[in-house]
Amino acid sequence: MLTTVKENINSYHTSNTDYDRLWKNLIEELFQEFIQFFTPDLYPEIDFAKEADN
């Protein structure tokens, strides 16, 4: 028995998920841990208590 399935390509475009924003928010929320994991040599040099310059 064969079954035909028609893919609805339009359903892929119904959600405008901003994946870039999701990653930016994640890094923002976990910035200290992010730096510690990805740049462990730089981590001790950063004063996380100091406000960031805008």
Could you give the number of structural domains in the chain? 1
Q: What is the mean pLDDT of residues 25-46?
A: 94
Question: Do the domain assignments include residue 10?
Answer: no
User: Domain of 24?
Assistant: 19-45
Residues 6+ apart with CB under 8 A from 51: none
Task: Quote the pLDDT of residue 7.
Answer: 72
The percent of residues in the chain predicted with pLDDT above 90, rounded, is: 39
Task: Quote the pLDDT of residue 12.
Answer: 62
Q: What is the mean pLDDT of residues 32-54?
A: 91
Question: Do the domain assignments include residue 24?
Answer: yes
Q: Is residue 46 pLDDT above 90, yes or no?
A: yes
Average pLDDT, the chain: 83
Question: Do the domain assignments include residue 39?
Answer: yes
Per the CB < 8 A criterion, the answer to whether 17 and 10 are in contact is no
- The span from the CA of 48 to the CA of 23, in Å, is 20
Question: Do the domain assignments include residue 9?
Answer: no
Question: Do the domain assignments include residue 28?
Answer: yes
Task: Quote the pLDDT of residue 34.
Answer: 92
